[in-house]
A and B are shown apart, each in its own frame.
Chain A
Amino acid sequence: MTGSGTGGGAGQAARGGDLRAWLVRRLLLGAGQTVAVVLLVFALTEALPGDAAVALAGDQPDPARIAAIREALHLDRPAHERLVAWAAGLLHGDLGTSLTSGRPVATYLANGVGPTVLLAALTVTLLVPLSVGLGVLAARHEGRFVDRLVSSVTLAVYAVPEFALGVLLVTVFALRLGWLPPTAVGFGDDLLAHPAALVLPVLVLLSRPVCSLVRLVRAGMIDALASPYAAQARRYGIAGARVRYAHALPNALAPAAQQLARTIDWLLCGVIVVEALFVIPGLGTVLINAVAERDVPVIQGLAVVFGLTAVVLNLGADLVARRFAPRAGVAA
C-alpha cells in the first residue's frame, strides 16, 4: 500500500516522519471542517429566497405566523449578529426552538438520540468483526471459490440503495415468511426489549459498509501477506496464524480503519433511510420531518450534530490509521 492516492499536502509531512507537523495540520483541517459545517448550516437561512419568514410560513401565510417566525429567527437583526448569537448558543448547547412546536431543539435531539445511537452501536459492533473475518477469509483463499463468492457478493450488494434492499427483505421475511415484524411501529422507544424488530434494520444498515470494508481488508491482507516482512517472518519459522494476525493484519487494517470512519457518512445516510423505512423514531426521522415542515432551527441543530459527528469521527479514524501504518501517509 503506497500513499500515492491519498493526496493532500500532508503526505509529504507524514513521509518525513514529522508526526507533530502532521498532527497540527490534521487538527487544523478538523477545525476548518467544524467552522465550515457551522457556516454552511447557518448560510441556509440566508439562502432562502425573498423574505425568509414568508418563505418558511409556506402553506399558512397568515401575518401572525410570519411575525412569529421572524421573532423566533431574529430576522430583524443583521446576519452577522445572528450568526454570532447562534454560534454562541451552540457552544452552550442552546440550539434554539422549533418553529412548529415552540419546543427547544435540544428536546428533539434528546428524544431521537436513543434509537439512533442504538442502531449505530449495534451496526458498528457487528460490522468490525464481520468484515475483518470475511476479508481475512477471502484473502486466505485468494482466487478460490470462497474468495470469488465473497468478492462477487460484496461487489454486487455494495451499491444497492438501502431502501430497495430493505423493502425486499421486508417482503420476504415479514410478508412471506412472517418471521420478523415489518416495521418498528408499536414498539415505542424501547427497541432493545424487542430485538426481533431490530434484525432487519441492522441487517440493512450493515449491507453497504460491510461490503466496502471486506473488499479493503481483503486487498490489504493479500498485499501484506505478499510483502517482504511477511516472507521474512515465515522464514524465521513463525506460525502462519501469527504472521497473519500479528504481522499482516495491522497493516491491512490501516486503509480499513480510514474507511470505517468514511463509513460514518454511509451510516448517517443509512440511518436516515432505515429509520424512514422501518418507522423508527430516531434522529433521522426527526430530520426528515423537520425538512418536510421546513422547521429551520430543528434542521440546523440536527445538521450541526450530524456534521460535527462526521468531522470528529473522520479525525479519529485518521489518527487510528496513522497508528496502524505510520508510513502510509494518511491524508490530511
Chain B
Amino acid sequence: MRFPVRARPGRFLLGLLLVAGPLLIALLGPLVAGEPGPRAASFTLGGGHGAGADFVGRDVWRQVLLGGRTVVLTALSATALAYAVALPLGLTGALTHRRWLEDLLMRPLDVLLAIPSLLLILLVAAVFSPGTVGLALLVALVNIPDAARIVRATAAEAAARPAVEALRMQGESWWRMAVGYVGRSALRTLAADAGTRLTGVLYLVATAAFLGVGVAPDAADWAVMVDRNRTGLFVQPWAVVLPAVLIVALTMGGNLLLDAALTSRGRRPTPLRPLPRPRKEHPA
C-alpha cells in the first residue's frame, strides 16, 4: 500500500479553514446567542432578523448559534462510548488464547455487521423514542462491531510479535502486555480509525436528527433546522442554507483535516486504513 508520505499543507489548511467556522459556532455559539427576541411571522425576511425567521418565527441566526452544540457533542460522546466498549472487547479477543472466548466475543459482532446502521437506529427509535442521550448510545452501539474488529485485528498483529513472546517468557502480567505493549503499539492505527469513525458518527447523528430521531421537532439543531424549514425554502432559503452549509463545512473540513494530519505525521502508512472495512460510515 503506497501512500505519499509527504506533508499536505494545502489540504491541512483547507480543512482547518472549513472546520474552524462551524466548530467555533457550535462550541461558542450558545454563549453569545443571548435571550430570545420577539417572534416574527413564519418564514419572513428582515424585520430586525439578520437571516430572517424560521418556521415558527424564531430568529434564524440565533437558532444557528444554538444548533451546533448538540450535533458536535453527541458525535464526540458517541465515538468515545463506542471505543470504551470496543477497546476491551477487541483487546481481549486478540490476546486470549482460548478460541471459544474469542469466538464468543467476536462472532456475534460479525452477525450484527450485516444490519444497516440507520435501519437499526430507526427500528429502536420507533419503539423507544430516544432523546439526545439515547441517540448517542444508539450511534455508539452501531459502531461497536466494526470498531471492535479493527481493535482486534490491530492488536492481534502486535500480539504476534516476538516482543510479546519475550514479555510472556519473562512472566510479565497480562495487564502490562495488553495495555503496556500491545495497546501502545496499536495506538496509531486506532487513532486513525477513531478519527475516521468520528466523521462517520457525525454523519449518522446529523442524518438521524434530520429524520427526527432523538430530537424534539422544534429543537435548535442544524439538522432539524434543515428538515423543518425545508417547506419555506422558496420564500426564506437562509433558514435551510445556513445550517446545511455549516454541516457540509464541518464534515468536509473534518475529513480533510484528519487525512492531512494522519498522513503527514506518519512515518509509515498504517496497515489498516486503506483496507476495505465492513462498516460503511467511515472512509476507506
A residues within 8 Å of B by Cβ? 1-2, 4-9, 29, 32-33, 36-37, 40-41, 44-45, 47-49, 143, 152, 155-165, 167-168, 170-171, 175, 182, 212, 215-216, 219, 222-223, 226, 255-256, 258-259, 262-266, 268-269, 272-273, 276-277, 287-288, 290-292, 294, 296, 299, 303, 306-307, 310-311, 314, 331
Q: What B residues does A155 contact at CB under 8 A?
A: 11, 255-256, 259, 283
> How many residues on B have C-beta within 8 angstroms of the other chain's C-beta atoms?
71
Interface contact B279-A159, CB-CB below 8 Å = no
Which of B110, B126, B275 contacts A291, CB < 8 Å?
Answer: B126
Which of B107, B237, B278 contacts A262, CB < 8 Å?
Answer: B278
B residues within 8 Å of A by Cβ? 1-4, 11, 14, 103, 107, 110-112, 114-120, 122-128, 149-150, 152-153, 157, 199-200, 202-203, 206-207, 210-212, 223, 226-227, 230, 233-234, 237, 240-241, 243-245, 247-248, 251-252, 254-256, 259, 271-272, 274-280, 282-284
Bound Cα distance A299, B119 (Å): 10
Interface contact A331-B254, CB-CB below 8 Å = no
Known: A32-B107, A33-B115. 7 other contacts (CB 8 A): A7-B149, A40-B123, A269-B117, A287-B122, A290-B126, A299-B126, A331-B278
Which applies to chain B's interface (DSSP): helix, strand, loop or mixed?
helix
Which of A9, A152, A168, A291 contacts B122, CB < 8 Å?
Answer: A291
Which of B119, B150, B152, B199 contacts A268, CB < 8 Å?
Answer: B119
* Distance from B7 Cβ to chain A, minimum over Cβ atoms (Å): 14
Bound Cα distance A163, B223 (Å): 8
Could you write out 20 A-B pairs with CB less than 8 Å apart?
A33-B114, A48-B127, A156-B256, A157-B252, A167-B240, A167-B244, A212-B280, A212-B283, A216-B284, A219-B3, A262-B278, A263-B280, A269-B116, A272-B122, A272-B211, A277-B230, A288-B122, A299-B126, A303-B123, A310-B114
Interface contact B252-A262, CB-CB below 8 Å = no
Bound Cα distance A253, B79 (Å): 31
**Known pairs A29-B110, A164-B247; A182 contacts B233 (CB<8 A):** yes
Which of B114, B125, B237 contacts A314, CB < 8 Å?
Answer: B114
Bound Cα distance A137, B282 (Å): 23
Interface contact A6-B276, CB-CB below 8 Å = yes
**Known pairs A307-B116, A314-B114; A152 contacts B11 (CB<8 A):** yes
Bound Cα distance A44, B234 (Å): 40
Interface contact A32-B283, CB-CB below 8 Å = no
Interface contact A262-B279, CB-CB below 8 Å = yes
* Distance from A66 Cβ to chain B, minimum over Cβ atoms (Å): 17
Interface contact A33-B111, CB-CB below 8 Å = yes
Interface contact B211-A212, CB-CB below 8 Å = no
Closest A residue, CB atoms, query B230: A167
Q: What A residues does B237 contact at CB under 8 A?
A: 171, 175
Closest B residue, CB atoms, query A255: B276
Closest B residue, CB atoms, query A295: B126
Q: What A residues does B283 contact at CB under 8 A?
A: 155, 158-159, 212, 215
Which of B4, B110, B202 contacts A143, CB < 8 Å?
Answer: B4
Which of B1, B2, B153, B248 contacts A164, CB < 8 Å?
Answer: B248
Interface centre among A1, A156, A159, A290 (most CB of B within 10 A): A159
Total cross-chain contacts (CB, 8 A): 208
Bound Cα distance A164, B126 (Å): 24
Interface contact B153-A5, CB-CB below 8 Å = yes
Interface contact B202-A159, CB-CB below 8 Å = yes
* Distance from A90 Cβ to chain B, minimum over Cβ atoms (Å): 16
Bound Cα distance A32, B111 (Å): 6
Interface contact A1-B233, CB-CB below 8 Å = no
Bound Cα distance A258, B254 (Å): 26
Which of A45, A273, A291 contacts B210, CB < 8 Å?
Answer: A273
Q: What B residues does A264 contact at CB under 8 A?
A: 116
Which of B2, B207, B240, B279 contacts A162, CB < 8 Å?
Answer: B207
Interface contact A160-B207, CB-CB below 8 Å = no
* Distance from A74 Cβ to chain B, minimum over Cβ atoms (Å): 18
Interface contact A163-B226, CB-CB below 8 Å = yes
**Known pairs A159-B252, A163-B227, A269-B117; A175 contacts B234 (CB<8 A):** yes
Interface contact A215-B284, CB-CB below 8 Å = yes
Which of A29, A158, A163, A306 contacts B111, CB < 8 Å?
Answer: A29
* Distance from B245 Cβ to chain A, minimum over Cβ atoms (Å): 7
* Distance from A309 Cβ to chain B, minimum over Cβ atoms (Å): 9
**Known pairs A5-B272, A171-B233, A222-B2; A156 contacts B255 (CB<8 A):** yes
Interface centre among B119, B126, B203, B272 (most CB of A within 10 A): B126
Q: What A residues does B112 contact at CB under 8 A?
A: 36
Bound Cα distance A164, B206 (Å): 9
Bound Cα distance A2, B245 (Å): 39
Interface contact B115-A44, CB-CB below 8 Å = no
**Known pairs A44-B126, A273-B210, A276-B211; A226 contacts B114 (CB<8 A):** no
Closest B residue, CB atoms, query A268: B116
Q: What B residues does A7 contact at CB under 8 A?
A: 149, 152-153
Q: What B residues does A292 contact at CB under 8 A?
A: 212
Bound Cα distance A41, B114 (Å): 14
Bound Cα distance A159, B75 (Å): 13
Interface contact A168-B245, CB-CB below 8 Å = yes
Interface contact A175-B233, CB-CB below 8 Å = yes
* Distance from A303 Cβ to chain B, minimum over Cβ atoms (Å): 6
**Known pairs A182-B233, A303-B123; A311 contacts B114 (CB<8 A):** yes
